[in-house]
Structure 1
Amino acid sequence: MKRCILLFVTLVAALFSSSALADKFPVGFKNNGLNGPLRPVTKGGVTTFQIFDRKCSSVDYGDGRGENDCHNGNVRATLIGPDGKIGESMDYRFDLWVDPSFNYPGFFNGHAMGFLPGGLDSRLRIASWEGPFIHNFLYMLKVDATKGVTFLGNECQSPARFGSWVAFSMKVRWAADRTGWIRVTCDDKLIYSADNVPTNQAPHCYITNQCEPGVAKNPKWFTFCVGPVMAGFGPEWEKYGLTSQFTAIQPEGITIKMRNLSAKKGVKP
């Protein structure tokens, strides 16, 4: 009996010790319930995100459509950060590391013509700012092996610099009128700015950016998500001549890392 108790105590201690190896997520951030089988892991102040081909979640979105990531071909590993609200000025920051073996080239997107040079787009987003409505994405940070890390088509980090850290910052005043402004920097270099604009409206509004042109939406609060999401082709993949609803991910998966994650209120341009 004593031996059984001792063995039980030893097993519990081992499990506790193993779980203690992983840190808590950064303050203000939580696991996304729509993640696939691998959730992000924070250790030593660095959060590692990994996604693998077709490793998706079948959890219902809960918005009445009866859809989920496996149905739509999406694969994700993300954290949800603090919300922002209309009238608030926020500074969203993190340092980003992209695995140098990353080789997804992006794709030609006819919907992106007029927004991105040559229509070369990426289905892989690594940060997003979203309103509460269906297809209500406002801003995305994307990455591919052709153009690197980009924000609204502006280069944040070139593919040649994958494997090194880059410091990202997006300062924004959330507004539904011309009192809105936005500044985006990478390693303190300004890559995008706009003044006197309603920042609760997407500047690159097309369907593959999870935005519906001409559909009136007026969000008053905004969700901040970080981590990779490889978007699929939806349930109509066969009509495009594809083999499945999924965008192919390299066999070893895609790994990105982030550190110094924060979302602070009360900033100035």
Structure 2
Amino acid sequence: MKLHNLIRVLAFSVSASLVIPTTATGAPRGFQEGRNSAVAPKWRNKELTFVLRRGDCQSRTYGDGRGESDCKNGNSRSQLNSKNKQRMGNFYEYAMDIWVDPGFRYNGRGWGKVNYRSRLWIAEWQRSDTIKNHMYEIYLDSNKGATFEDKVCFPPARFGQWNSFVLRVKWSNGSDGVMQVICNGKTIYSRQGPNAVPPGCGKPWKQQCKPELQDLGKPILWSVGPSLKGHGMNYARFGFPSPFPPFPDGGLTMKVRNLYLGRLRN
């Protein structure tokens, strides 16, 4: 049985446990500005506009006793978070249309010589109220475009155009887990089996994920909007001039519409 058919069949029996979708008008009901977001997006004509510049950071500490904050770590962020956190064992659909400024030019690199994936994310899934429990991200740069697990969702040639993104998933750490990512109507990534701990957790190219810290009992949080990852409080130890990585002077402008989190749709 094909993966997308398997997802629909299995979801039928559990759909009542899923969260309520966004409003029919497309307004992002069920979302709020992220706690660590420094700049709120603008909402107009059913479109969200995010503008992120280097140094757009929240000075509030994370509250976990480490004394860290986005400003200290060199993170820049403009994000919305889902209000309803998702649970293991349930089916969900995450969807949105994404527009990226056609003039955006960023190679994804930081100050160091080694860079595995772009330091810029435009959406992320992580376990709530934990550290080093990041699961999946949509990365963005002007070399590869937007990528999910190193698969291209849309290339730089489609900057300036609307692009659809859909993730259909049953979150699980067992054999019943399913995941399908569809971009512009084409499946770019699929997975059957465990998906609660992402591939490569603990490897250098998988940021903010340590196997020994995984807490599968925590709910899952979806964040939408750009987040530029810094070099941390110890940046000077590595010879870097700033915790904030290089970024274009004009920053990034991106738009999102048709934001959806809820039951699987046909």
Structure 2 match to 1:148? 145
Which structure exhibits the higher relative contact order, with contacts defined as CA atoms closer than 8 Å and separated by 6 or more residues? Answer: 2
Root-mean-square deviation (Å): 2.4
* Kept after mapping to 2: 8 A contact 1:124/1:228: yes
What SS does the corresponding residue of 1:91 show, helix, strand or coil?
A: strand
- Hey, what's the Cα distance between the residues in 2 that align with 1:108 and 1:219? 33
Q: TM-score, normalised by structure 1?
A: 0.82
Structure 1 residues 159, 245: closer, same or farther in 2, change over 3 A?
Answer: same
**8 Å contact kept, 1:171–1:267:** no
**What residue number does 1:104 align with?**
106
- Report the secondary structure of 2:157's partner residue: helix
Deviation string, structure 1 residues 127-168 (Cα, Å, up to 9, x no partner): 011112211011101101111100010000101111111000
Q: Is 2:85 aligned against 1:83?
A: yes
SS of the residue 1:239 aligns to: helix
Paired with 1:92 and 1:249, the residues of 2 have a C-alpha distance of 28
Alignment partner, residue 29 of structure 1: 31
**What is the identity percentage for the equivalent residue pairs of Structure 1 and Structure 2?**
35
Cα pair 1:90 1:267 within 8 Å, conserved: no
Kept after mapping to 2: 8 A contact 1:24/1:42: no
**In 1, are the aligned partners of 2:26 and 2:259 still within 8 Å (CA)?**
no
1:184 aligns with 2:181: yes
Aligned to 1:169: 166
The count of residues paired between Structure 1 and Structure 2 equals 238
Residue 70 of structure 1 aligns with an amino acid whose one-letter code is C
Structure 1 residues 200 and 265, CA gap change in structure 2 (3 angstroms): same
Task: Tell me how far 1:267 sits from its aligned partner.
Answer: 5.8
What residue in structure 2 maps to residue 51 of structure 1? 52
Q: Which amino acid aligns with 2:79?
A: T
Contact 2:101 2:160 in 1 (8 A): yes
Alignment partner, residue 239 of structure 1: 237
Cα displacement string for residues 90-127 of structure 1 (whole angstroms, at most 9, x for unaligned residues): 000000011111111023899x9xxxxxx641010110
Superposed, 1:1-269 pairs within 5 Å as 26-36=28-38, 38-81=39-82, 82-107=84-109, 120-132=116-128, 133-197=130-194, 199-205=195-201, 206=203, 209-266=207-264
Q: Based on CA coordinates, which of the two structures has the bigger radius of gyration? A: 1
SS of alignment partner, residue 238 of structure 1: helix
